[in-house]
């Protein structure tokens, strides 16, 4: 970010596709499947539905901006810079929750896989925010700081998820399903449409497959 003007658009789309692939695989192998094993299908699916509805509500009320999709959420006087940052912050919220819930589950290998994969896919997401800031006329240091800030929401949500599940173990299958449902909503409603509207579906699709393969590999080896 501090050296380049902007990455090739295809590379950016592939990076966001990679993030989508990681989130898809993590939702099923690291969250939904363990949730079913911990509390049954009904609890897991109830959590998935609740997570998707919660993200849908946040997406509706929070003013934010996507590079291709445009403005979403309630009307706001916020600058386009901050609305772009809010868009990626919304993406990061379920990711932080997923990491915290995974660690609280007591399954170390699953938690490490989720942590590693989410950390890796934060790189293209952070770059997307930073370069979008540069295109809006922000200075490089300020664009960098905004990109970092958009990901900081993951830390408190990770802690909140871990504390909630640790305090009430019965919440585990619901919380895992909730995190999965929220991530699935983000992938379908935000990331895939954003990367497919400029005719560069191929790069995004290969990125998605790469992210999915990496997450499956981490989940099976860690």
Is there a domain that residue 136 lies in? Answer: yes
161/23 Cα distance (integer angstroms): 17
pLDDT at 109: 83
Kindly report which listed range (12-16, 26-30, 147-151, 194-198) carries the lowest average pLDDT score. Answer: 194-198
**How many independent structural domains does the chain possess?**
1
pLDDT value of position 193: 85
Distance CA 131, CA 113 (A): 28
Q: List, in order, residues 6 or more apart from 18 with CB less than 8 Å away.
A: 121, 124, 207, 208, 210, 211, 214
Residues 98, 156: contact at Cβ < 8 Å? no
Task: Give yes or no for residue 57 having a pLDDT over 90.
Answer: yes
Q: What is the band of 68 on the pLDDT scale with cuts at 50, 70, 90?
A: low
Residue 133 is assigned to a structural domain of this protein: yes
Distance CA 87, CA 66 (A): 7
Reported as a pLDDT band with limits 50, 70 and 90, residue 83 is confident
Residue 4 lies in a domain: no
- Give the tokens for residue 131: 């370069």
| Backbone CA torsion sign across 8, 11, 13, 16 | negative
3-class DSSP assignment, residue 198: coil
Question: Among residues of the chain, what percentage have pLDDT more than 70?
Answer: 98
Q: For residue 81, what are the domain limits?
A: 10-221
In a domain, 141, yes or no: yes
Q: Is residue 137 part of a domain?
A: yes
Whether 5 is in a domain gets the answer no
Q: What is the DSSP string of 62-97?
A: S-EEETTTEEESS-----HHHHHHHHHHHHHHHHHH
Residue 36 has pLDDT above 70, yes or no: yes
> Residues 160-200: pLDDT tens digits?
999 988 888 889 999 999 999 999 999 998 888 888 877 77
Question: What is the rounded CA–CA span in Å between residue 4 and residue 55?
Answer: 33
Is 206 a member of any domain? Answer: yes
Residue 19 forms part of a structural domain = yes
**216 contacts 29 by C-beta, under 8 angstroms:** yes
Please give the pLDDT value at position 71: 83
| pTM exceeds cut of 0.95 | no
Structure tokens at 101: 């819930």
What gap in Å lies between CA 82 and CA 65, rounded to an integer? 8
Rounded mean pLDDT, 9-34: 89
CA-based nearest residue to 118, from 220, 12, 214, 8: 214
169: tokens are 């173990």
């Amino acid at each position: 970010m501090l050296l380049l003007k902007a990455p090739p658009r295809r590379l950016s789309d592939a990076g966001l596709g990679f993030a989508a692939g990681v989130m898809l695989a993590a939702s099923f192998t690291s969250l939904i499947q363990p949730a079913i094993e911990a509390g049954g299908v009904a609890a897991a699916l109830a959590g998935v539905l609740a997570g998707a509805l919660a993200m849908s509500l946040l997406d509706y009320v929070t003013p934010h901006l996507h590079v291709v999709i445009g403005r979403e959420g309630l009307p706001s006087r916020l600058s386009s810079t901050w609305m772009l940052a809010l868009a990626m912050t919304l993406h990061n919220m379920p990711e932080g929750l997923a990491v915290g819930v995974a660690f609280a589950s007591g399954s170390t290998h699953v938690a490490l896989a989720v942590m590693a994969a989410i950390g890796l896919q934060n790189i293209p997401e952070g770059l997307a925010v930073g370069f979008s800031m540069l295109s809006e006329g922000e200075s490089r240091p300020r664009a960098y700081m905004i990109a970092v800030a958009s990901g900081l929401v993951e830390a408190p949500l990770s802690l909140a998820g871990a504390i909630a599940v640790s305090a009430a173990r019965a919440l585990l299958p619901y919380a895992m399903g909730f995190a999965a449902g929220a991530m699935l909503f983000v992938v379908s409603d935000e990331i895939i449409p954003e990367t497919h509207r400029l005719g560069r579906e191929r790069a995004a699709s290969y990125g998605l497959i790469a992210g999915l393969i990496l997450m499956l590999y981490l989940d099976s080896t860690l």
